Structure 1
Amino acid sequence: MKTDRRSVIIGSALAGVALFAGGTLSAIMDVADARADPSPEALAQAGPLGDVVLGSDQAPVTIVEYASLTCPHCAAFATETFPQLKEKYIDTGKVKFIFREMPFDDLALAAAMVARCVPKDKFIPMVEMLFEQQKQWANQNARQELFNIAKLSGMTQTQFDECLKNEEIAKGLIDTSQRATKEFGVDSTPTFFVNGKILKGNRPLADFEALIKEAAPT
């Protein structure tokens, strides 16, 4: 998913409320000049809400993904390539994988907020389901479809409604997006950093393998 005119349009802290009330609250965030290959140390700094991490902390290679839950290319990566990457490299202790939300529209922000509101052990399954069912919930009747998915984690209607009013979560997601754009030059999703080396778009496993082997030759 590309940004328009090198601007990132994301919702304000009340985007969840505005979105489902028919509102159009949004903020435009100017994009600073991209930095090539940020340091792994800079990338390792988690955002206000903390990081979602898979794999061993002792893994020699760290992959950071910035993704938007309404991005079809992100969904394709999540359903097609990620399972291979997880089985071959994450589950075997060779790669630590960090998933970071990069909502480029109000609906993506709302979905990311809902995922952050479920119990931590259900976050990854929730994100996987959001990507798998993206065509259903990201089109018509978004509120109801999002709630239908959230219910599977045990979330009640009241919890769902309160989640979409949670300014702390919304601001945390926005802060992470702003930093990715301004410091790391992330202007499209999915964007990956493999030990600091940038890789953009829904790429095949072979492209990741090349950078993994470069970072940690065996």
Structure 2
Amino acid sequence: MPHNGQKPANAQKPANARKSANAQKSAPVGKTAHDRRKSRNLAIGAGVVIAAVLLGLASYTATKPEKSGGTTVTEAAEGGAPSADPQAGVYPELEKLARRDARDPLARGRADAPVVMVEYADFKCGFCGKFARDTEPALVKKYVDKGTLRIEWRNFPIFGEDSERAARGAWAAGEQGRFWQFHEAAYADGAKEKGFGADRLKELARQAGVKDVGRFVEDADSAAAKAAVKKDQEEAYGLGATSTPSFVINGRPVSGAQPDQVFEQTIEAAARSAKSAGGGAK
């Protein structure tokens, strides 16, 4: 059955993620500073809840059968191409997910690029690999290299211990400035079938050009690596993502390894919006 996103058979959001996505309650807006902050937090929470519903629908759509005639469902409301309105399906609260840290080794592109694509992915996910091999290189050449797009990676391991080890290994490679090289090696055709055991991770680190493999091994097993992966994972679950890959492009959720034109249209619409608003980084 054709599909373009991947999720574990028994994917369940952790209790704290479900709580964060559903615990928002309405409250009167007060006049005190405390009340104004509370009102703002509620507004952000409402936006995240809406996005969670949208990402949940997109995750389902990404794994449902094709329509008769072979056209995959990719309407805007389901995480596909944007409508004529560049702001349709955009949630300003989600734009705050972009970290725009110039020192982030798990990001590529200018920190002040007008468009930021946050990618939640798993190294055991076949469709993440398809996106990494077939779509992402063209996006880098067409948009990242020209300063339009920034890609920020988030580790979202959902397929068990192998996924967790690969995520920590990727983070450790980033500590030596070789994340994207590790990313390429781990997503090479047939790479995931070899698994991500300790020896395999060291092999990937060498392929990625990591200079100090001993330090890589220590970093991958460190509390810092585990905390960084957990932070990204909880962020994804909090948004309602249940399959990989999932994306947020300037506040617009997109789920699955969609066709190239879906990403191109979404990025270009976001770039036009950013230009009309007069900016890059916010």
Match of 1:154 in 2: 211
- 2:165 is matched with 110
* Aligned pair partner of 2:148 in 71, 94, 98: 94
Whole-angstrom CA distance in 2 between matches of 1:61 and 1:170: 29
Higher relative contact order (CA 8 A, sep 6+): 1
Quote the residue 1:198 is aligned against: 253
* C-alpha spacing 1:29/1:177, structure 2 compared with 1 (3 Å): farther
CA shift for structure 1 position 212? 1.9
Q: How does 1:55-66 map to 2 (within 5 A)?
A: 55-66=109-120
Check conservation: 2:113, 2:147, Cα contact below 8 A: yes
Partner of 1:7: helix, strand, or coil?
Answer: coil
The number of aligned residues is 195
Contact persistence 1:7–1:30 (CA under 8 A)? no
Quote the Cα distance in structure 2 between the aligned partners of 1:140 and 1:114.
13
- Rounded to whole Å, the distance in 2 between the matches of 1:198 and 1:101 is 17
Gaps of 5+ in 2: 1-5, 22-48, 52-90, 276-282
Q: Which residue of the partner structure matches residue 82 of structure 1?
A: 136
TM-superposition CA deviations, 1:186-206 (whole Å, max 9, x none): 211100111110110011220
**Identity in percent:** 26
5 Å-filtered alignment, 1:1-218, equals: 1-8=6-13, 31-32=17-18, 33=21, 34-36=49-51, 37=91, 39-45=93-99, 52-104=106-158, 105-118=160-173, 119-132=175-188, 135-139=190-194, 142-152=197-207, 153-156=210-213, 158-182=214-238, 184-217=239-272
* The 10-residue stretch of structure 1 (79-88 or 35-44) with the greater mean CA deviation from structure 2: 35-44
Normalising by structure 2, report the TM-score. 0.61
Partner of 1:22: none
The structure with the larger Rg is 2
Aligned amino acid, residue 130 of structure 1: A
Secondary structure class of the residue paired with 2:177? helix
TM-score normalised to structure 1 length: 0.77
Relative to structure 1, the CA distance from residue 161 to residue 60 in structure 2 (aligned partners, 3 Å threshold; closer, same or farther) is closer
Tell me whether 83-92 or 137-146 shows the greater mean CA deviation. 137-146
